[in-house]
Structure 1
Amino acid sequence: MNLKDVLRIGPVMPVIVIHKLEHAAPLAKALIAGGVRVFEVTLRTPVALDAVRAMREAAPEAIVGVGTVTTARDLEASLAAGAMFAVSPGLTPDLAEAARGPAVPLLPGVMTPSELMHARELGFDALKFFPAREAGGVGMLRAFAGPFPDVLFCPTGGISAETAGSYLALPNVACVGGSWLAPVDLLERGEWETITRLAQEAAGLTAG
């Protein structure tokens, strides 16, 4: 799987925290109904890996990834759970080595030029810019474009539906990561139609 192609599928990749396994399947269906096919399920709860399995079964057309991957063990568990890609807030030598071979494609996080250069030396040219807002936002990504024209980004962290367009206007941004599509309160109330509407709005976002 070419990770750059995956990132270009839609303008927003929802960053999802699932506390209850029974939310996974209806959430996947709600996002798909809204035109969002690529999801990131974060490893922040005990049910996250089971949620990945449930989402892939409920929505076979979805491209389900795992986020908050920080160790080689996390990456191995993600592969075993059926994740189609993995996202990390950073990058370590062990994680980079684990991403070689049969492992799932890895989107490592960077926030400085030195981290970007290190990731690129290790063979990564699709990167998560994190935490985007705190790390300089649109201005920093625009500055990266000159010396690093071959690198494509998915900025995540502090981005909203209102600010996403300014990131999407940058030529080195494929999509943005956002948590506003599936907030915990909507999951708890089972407001799947609201999530579908939010997904429809996100899928229609353009540069601006």
Structure 2
Amino acid sequence: MKKISDIMGDQTLLPIIQADNVEDGVAIAKAMAAAGLTTVEVVLRSENSAKCITAIKEALPDMIVSAGTVIDRASLDAAINAGADFIVTPAVTERLLTMLVDSGLPVLPGVSNVSDIVLAREHGFREMKLFPASLSGGAAFLKAVGGLFKDTKFCPTGGVSPENFEDYLSLGNVFAAGGTWVAKPQWVADKQWDLITEACSQV
């Protein structure tokens, strides 16, 4: 199974795209690409989310587009059919993890406690998303579990901001962090794509 950290390379921010329509989704991705980002996450939270993944991949063939908020068979199938390059989940269950492994795609499973980490490890995962990071102990939690799971790395998401981004990245078991602050809903509503590019460039 290919590591998400290998897919992302030197990129330490996994920017999250939330769009109500395909046009905005593509515009957000283009603004992020203009800042030099090559990997994004599109969360499956609207009826057009899967279409956004397909459209972004068509508009930006070199961009790696992951599907987030995959929680069941329906959302996993939607992500696969849309052409997602890898899968991101907010949580784990025995059934979901089995489906994810069987999908054959790289996966970043979401965990929020030590039991989740052990469960994900039992299915072969060594890279995980801590979510919601700020409510699950944040950097202090990741620092605490570093000694327990020496071969496991994380991408914290949820409550990550410019103020704590570097705190997370300074930890040896963090390879990236996910964030929505680089594409604020008001910027999207106002079509201020340059502000997205600027925010991404500052990471």
TM-score, normalised to structure 1, is: 0.93
- Contact map agreement 2:18 2:25 (CA 8 A) in 1: no
C-alpha RMSD over aligned residues: 1.3
Deviation sequence 1:146-179 (CA, Å, 0-9, x none): 0101001000011101110000000100000000
Q: In structure 1, how many angstroms separate the alpha carbons of the residues matched to 2:3 and 2:121?
A: 16
Q: In structure 2, how many angstroms separate the alpha carbons of the residues matched to 1:185 and 1:191?
A: 8
Distance 1:130 1:62, change over 3 A: same
Amino acid across the alignment from 1:103: G
Say whether residues 1:117 and 2:118 are aligned partners.
yes
Bigger mean CA deviation after superposition, 157-166 or 87-96: 87-96
Number of matched pairs = 202
- Contact map agreement 1:75 1:103 (CA 8 A) in 2: no
1:206 matched residue in structure 2: none
Q: CA deviation at 1:101?
A: 3.9
Amino acid across the alignment from 2:88: V
Tell me the SS of whatever aligns to 2:173: coil
Deviation sequence 1:56-101 (CA, Å, 0-9, x none): 1111111100111100221121011000011111112222121224
Task: Report matched runs for 1:119-158 at 5 Å.
Answer: 119-158=120-159
Unaligned runs of 5+ in 1: 203-208
1:79 matched residue in structure 2: 80
Q: In structure 2, how many angstroms separate the alpha carbons of the residues matched to 1:16 and 1:176?
A: 14
Percent identical among aligned pairs is 37
Task: Report matched runs for 1:6-85 at 5 Å.
Answer: 6-85=7-86
Asked which structure has the greater RCO (Cα within 8 Å, sep 6+), the reply is: 1
Q: CA deviation at 1:28?
A: 1.3
Bigger mean CA deviation after superposition, 97-106 or 180-189: 97-106
- Contact map agreement 1:89 1:110 (CA 8 A) in 2: yes
Q: In structure 1, how many angstroms separate the alpha carbons of the residues matched to 2:103 and 2:143?
A: 34
Tell me the SS of whatever aligns to 2:15: strand
Say whether residues 1:95 and 2:112 are aligned partners.
no
Amino acid across the alignment from 2:165: A
1:190 matched residue in structure 2: 191
Unaligned runs of 5+ in 2: none
- Contact map agreement 1:8 1:174 (CA 8 A) in 2: no
Q: CA deviation at 1:8?
A: 4.3
Q: In structure 1, how many angstroms separate the alpha carbons of the residues matched to 2:125 and 2:164?
A: 26
Q: In structure 2, how many angstroms separate the alpha carbons of the residues matched to 1:126 and 1:28?
A: 24
Q: CA deviation at 1:20?
A: 1.8
TM-score, normalised to structure 2, is: 0.95
